[in-house]
Chains A and B, each alone.
Chain A
Amino acid sequence: EPEVTQTPSHQVTQMGQEVILRCVPISNHLYFYWYRQILGQKVEFLVSFYNNEISEKSEIFDDQFSVERPDGSNFTLKIRSTKLEDSAMYFCASSGGQGAGDTQYFGPGTRLTVL
């Protein structure tokens, strides 16, 4: 069964450093998402991406964040200058182009620790 993959599984970085989290969505999907989950809190939406542009973003997704689909398979989340409060589990998800309410499939997550 096709699945979403994410690398790395765990990333440790120093405050102020740039990080890039990588995702490989399911191959025929058209919509891509990033969510995050701070330890002990609920999963929060960050951004959605379709047709090579951002379709929606949350208040969390400020100028420090960017997303890119550099080739036909990868979908990346960049945090330009990490802060302590960026420490969280980051989930990538993808969904197909079948219309409203299509199911989002999640990757296993990348745990980001900012020191």
Chain B
Amino acid sequence: AQSVTQPDIHITVSEGASLELRCNYSYGATPYLFWYVQSPGQGLQLLLKYFSGDTLVQGIKGFEAEFKRSQSSFNLRKPSVHWSDAAEYFCAVIRGFGNEKLTFGTGTRLTIIP
């Protein structure tokens, strides 16, 4: 069965510093990969997605992610975080055979300090 691992439960970063959130997946083929963000009391908002092609994908709010097949990873990055980026971040995958279920990681909670 496919699975998604986010090894960092909680990360604290200073405002203006760079950010990298880790995501590893376990699946035989290349799945379709997503990053969602959940602000307190809010739903899940899509940041970016990877289906195929260029392994570096750009998303909203200045985020990007890089797919590395050799490492089964899809890490999320931002060069300079803002206080409004404080939220929970979820990596998710689908098998890619259709409009199928998302399998989510456990999430990484991001705290921003002044």
Contact = CB atoms under 8 A, between A and B. Distances in A.
Interface string A36-65: 000001111100101000001010000000
A105 B46 contact: yes
Interface of A: 4, 30-31, 33, 35, 41-45, 48, 50, 56, 58, 91, 93, 95, 97, 99-109
B63 interface: no
Contacts of B105: 42
Contacts of A41: 106
Contacts of B49: 101, 103
A100 B99 CA distance: 6
Contacts, number: 63
A107 B32 contact: no
A33 B43 CA distance: 14
A41 B43 CA distance: 15
B44 A99 contact: no
Residue of B51, B101, B105, B106 ringed by the most chain A CB atoms within 10 A: B101
A55 B104 CA distance: 19
B43 A101 contact: no
B90 interface: yes
13 contacts: A33-B101, A42-B90, A43-B90, A56-B101, A91-B44, A95-B99, A97-B99, A100-B96, A100-B97, A104-B99, A106-B44, A106-B45, A109-B43
